[in-house]
A and B are shown apart, each in its own frame.
Chain A
């Protein structure tokens, strides 16, 4: 299969000698055509660096970047059919919205009439026809964001790179733009590589997510898989909330402190490991009957649901998420003793 973008054992080291910073360490990734791919990871993990190498603003220290199977590692950015929506937007302050959007086509030497037509079309796509003659400084943050998007889309790139494009917007605008971006991507069929450190954004928008940490790519997969089958503690912790419980695994059964036995995948590694359970998969019932004994702690009310803090027999603290009911009758008294169980198939064994 030919991928839209491939990175092969890509490394990037900034500086040299004792000042060397390894921003990316042997990252290999394959992004499919027409995919909405998200790079997710904490600040400084190398997301921007990877994006800049795909765009051509940086050359890899070693390894390759491929576009449609062709090595483009040393091609300058202006020769790559890849456009970027910059985090700071980087709109040209001396040009009008129209000129900004038409910039790429003009540089490509397209005839004026064609540029005008495309610009109109793209501006209507992002609903900015009315602002065409304004300067970027005369627009709101959200509008500037759309101009940046329109400018990157106008030359019809094969791949669009978006580096935290929504981080400067307020929550409401952010949600709107998430929907809009997804709609545009489906409509245009362009490969999107989207960078964010907001896990919710990644989960709602992406076809696939790549989770990064400290220059490494930890896991690649669809949102559901990333959420339900995190490969390690970092991924499990970074995406959503998770309870970690120490356990001993043998033959598809995890034994936790207090002797309770839980079913896990049969191919799970054996030995002492950590198991992960999402708070929404924690069930609270009566003591006994194979359930884990636990003591109820504080309950925090969140509107649609409440977080119930529990302490297991060995002192491990876990959280259960419970649907709120209208009367508040189901609220557990602090200090009461309960039995905890987990939903079928929800217990995940982590490799480290």
Chain B
């Protein structure tokens, strides 16, 4: 490389960094950087009125991870933690599964319409996607409350004599999360199906495959990247959900997000809150890595 070319290349690199610098500084200050401080706080001692005392203590981590140990003497507390973790994971997985089960036919339906209908349907999916999650949760709340629309309708139709108690149960949280995260499943699924060559289907039918075989052996493998993307996009925010379980689950049906918040409110245990957050972040990172792996693998396989 000549000097001039070398200089041009270096100028290019420098301008990339210079132009990105303001964004990176802001992100470092108010997004990425604090994550490291959070990690440090998870090893400190809780202060009496919140915050921390700058003394090393592994208690917070023991309070999260090693709480599984039932011979430890503190298992009453560990039980509560375990229940919350288990509920979070269970509800998130169920939400992911159910959004997929109803999201896949929906995405398929959209992808097989004519161009104009497709654009309209996509827009209709996108509106809830961008609508305030709080408002959508409120909307669901209005429907499933004891005096809500669902019960009022069922009562007046005489289907039930007493209101169905859905609100403040796990079921309510599950319904709410399915409702608010569904667009996150449909959009990537649509993107994957849209790339799918429908003539492959005809070829498969031609070879006397049954509908079920076609779905399993032809369609699913091809739209797999979309399935993975959608699952990740639903699972991650569901696992960290705060608003939906708070409004629909009430105080008794907490998820990790609410439990974390508790440590910074009544719990006054910042290190435990920090440790739980780090744990959540680790789970999410592992899930993301799984996603990247699976996505690149299905890429290289064509």
Contact = CB atoms under 8 A, between A and B. Distances in A.
Determine whether A and B are in direct contact in the complex, meaning some CB atoms lie less than 8 angstroms apart: yes
A5 B110 CA distance: 60
Interface residues of A, number: 8
A73 B8 CA distance: 13
A60 B2 contact: yes
Contacts of B2: 59-62
Interface string A201-218: 000000000000000000
Contacts of A61: 1-2, 5
A310 B4 CA distance: 56
B1 A16 contact: yes
Contacts of A60: 2, 4
A124 interface: no
Contacts of A13: 1
A60 B8 CA distance: 11
A73 B1 contact: no
Nearest to A11: B2
A73 B1 CA distance: 15
A137 interface: no
A88 interface: no
Interface string A83-99: 00000000000000000
Nearest to A73: B4
A74 interface: yes
Nearest to B5: A59
Contacts of A62: 2
Interface string A47-83: 0000000000001111000000000011000000000
A74 B8 CA distance: 10
A61 B178 CA distance: 59
Interface string B166-206: 00000000000000000000000000000000000000000
A186 B2 CA distance: 38
A59 B4 CA distance: 7
Contacts of B5: 59, 61
A16 B1 CA distance: 8
**Max chain A C-beta neighbours (<10 A), residue from B1, B2, B4:** B2
A74 B5 CA distance: 10
Interface in B1-49: 1-2, 4-5, 8
Nearest to A62: B2
Interface in A13-44: 13, 16
B1 A74 contact: no
Nearest to A13: B1
Contacts of A73: 4
B223 to A, nearest CB: 35
Nearest to B4: A59
A13 B9 CA distance: 14
Contacts of A74: 4
**Max chain B C-beta neighbours (<10 A), residue from A13, A16, A59, A61:** A59
A13 B4 CA distance: 13
A253 to B, nearest CB: 50
A62 B1 CA distance: 8
A80 to B, nearest CB: 15
12 contacts: A13-B1, A16-B1, A59-B2, A59-B4, A59-B5, A59-B8, A60-B2, A61-B1, A61-B2, A61-B5, A62-B2, A73-B4
Interface of A: 13, 16, 59-62, 73-74
Given A16-B1, A60-B2, A61-B5, 5 more contacts: A59-B4, A61-B1, A62-B2, A73-B4, A74-B4
Nearest 7 Cβ contacts at the A-B interface: A59-B4, A61-B2, A74-B4, A59-B5, A62-B2, A59-B8, A61-B5
